Structure 1
Amino acid sequence: MQDYTSADSLHRAYGRKVEELLSSSDAATWINDLWDMYTGFTHFAQECGTDPRSHNRFVSFKELVFFFQDVGKMKS
């Protein structure tokens, strides 16, 4: 495990992880896949009953979509 004592080295490490993540698919593909996953999840949750964490999951999902939208703008 690497030691990230400075903010700069931590940011570079985050950047490498994002680059690695985007090497398999571009940001637009990630956004479409996220919508597909979330739609399937909400459909399943609707059939199974209420979920007390549904709002928190939606907020996390929304932040992931915004993240990939921002990343997609950077690559343009």
Structure 2
Amino acid sequence: MTPIQALYYFVEARPTRTGPPNVGIGAILLIVAAAVFIAWVAWLWIAARPSSGGEETALNLQPYLSDDELETTKLNRVLRAAM
């Protein structure tokens, strides 16, 4: 038997379906939509939890100098350097 004859035999030997398929496209879409909804709810649940608080404040967000120190000491030094 040649490979083409074997392929023809395999294709012809398959039973044909006469009724509707067991799982339609609507059922598959419903399962996918349910999975996406569950993943979205899980993401909302995880995102709503408070953080552990173990993180340090970034250097650019830490307080530097007060307004009084910036307006007197630093400003005077910069103005003297500009003269």
Question: Normalising by structure 2, what TM-score?
Answer: 0.30
Could you say which structure has the larger radius of gyration? 2
Question: Normalising by structure 1, what TM-score?
Answer: 0.32
| Structure with the higher helix share, 1 or 2 | 1
